[in-house]
Amino acid sequence: MSYEEVFPKFMKESLEKLILLPTYGERGAGRLIYNLLKLPVEKRLEVVKALEKMAEKIKTCIECGLYTEEEICSICSNPKRSKKFICVVEEPQDAFAIEKLERYAGVYHVLGGRIAPLEGVSPNNLKIDSLLERIERYKAKEVILATNPNVEGEATALYLSKLIKKQFPNIKITRISQGLQFGSLIEFVDELSLEKSIENRRSLG
């Protein structure tokens, strides 16, 4: 009897779909499937239905790129949030990590990654044009560069600060830094350190 015959067809099909998730791999996908199958059938279906609803309803905000159920997210459409402050992040989860602190009153801009030449990611692959366009349209006072504190994140912040300064010489550009361990990911940093790093952000010019 071959492995093909032993391994249930529907599990194989699900595994093949889950492997499509970036960075997940066969092990990650397998773990998810086995854990899901440990649940009673009705619980499994609850998980899958929630995922289905999310997959269908969630889109990215046409302004900032955050995940939202509307065309424009609840931050961009909130008149209490100041568009004079734009916090630039790599991914939506970074913005949500900062939002959890409930301290930041500006808006975000999701780049959709960071400059990583070794992985073939150049500035052209990131949402930089729309950032410049928003800075201009909002007449922003400050751009907070909150890319991750690692080699690529720092390089991306440096690249952006030069580019922005060239086009908007009077704008304040800051970088979150203090209290964040080099190599950590904003998404997983503890709240106190993250809050400090934003409060003590340093000026890049």
- Minimum distance between the CB of residue 63 and Zn ion, rounded to whole angstroms? 4
* 3-state SS track over the chain: CCHHHHCCHHHHHHHHHHCCCCCCHHHHHHHHHHHHHHCCHHHHHHHHHHHHHHHHHCEECCCCCCEECCCCCCCCCCCCCEEEEEEEECCHHHHHHHHCCCCCCEEEEECCCCCEHHHCECHHHCCCHHHHHHHHHHCCCEEEECCCCCHHHHHHHHHHHHHHHHHCCCCEEEECCCCCCCCCCHHHCCHHHHHHHHHCCEECC
- Minimum distance between the CB of residue 131 and Zn ion, rounded to whole angstroms? 13
- Minimum distance between the CB of residue 140 and Zn ion, rounded to whole angstroms? 14
Going by their DSSP bridges, the two strands 67-68 and 59-60 should be labelled as antiparallel
| Residue of 70, 80, 83 lying closest to 102 (CA atoms) | 80
Decide whether 95 or 173 has the Cβ nearer to Zn ion: 95
Say which residues have a Cβ less than 8 Å from residue 34's Cβ, sequence separation at least 6.
none
Judged by CB under 5 A, the chain residues 45 through 84 that form the site for Zn ion are: 61, 63-64, 66, 73, 76
- Minimum distance between the CB of residue 107 and Zn ion, rounded to whole angstroms? 7
- Minimum distance between the CB of residue 69 and Zn ion, rounded to whole angstroms? 12
Decide whether 95 or 145 has the Cβ nearer to Zn ion: 95
Decide whether 91 or 152 has the Cβ nearer to Zn ion: 91
Decide whether 60 or 150 has the Cβ nearer to Zn ion: 60
Interface mask (CB under 5 A) for Zn ion, residues 12-51, using x and -?
A: ----------------------------------------
Decide whether 53 or 59 has the Cβ nearer to Zn ion: 59
- Minimum distance between the CB of residue 161 and Zn ion, rounded to whole angstroms? 22
- 88 sits near Zn ion (criterion: CB under 5 A): no
Decide whether 66 or 98 has the Cβ nearer to Zn ion: 66
Which positions touch Zn ion (CB under 5 A)?
A: 61, 63-64, 66, 73, 76
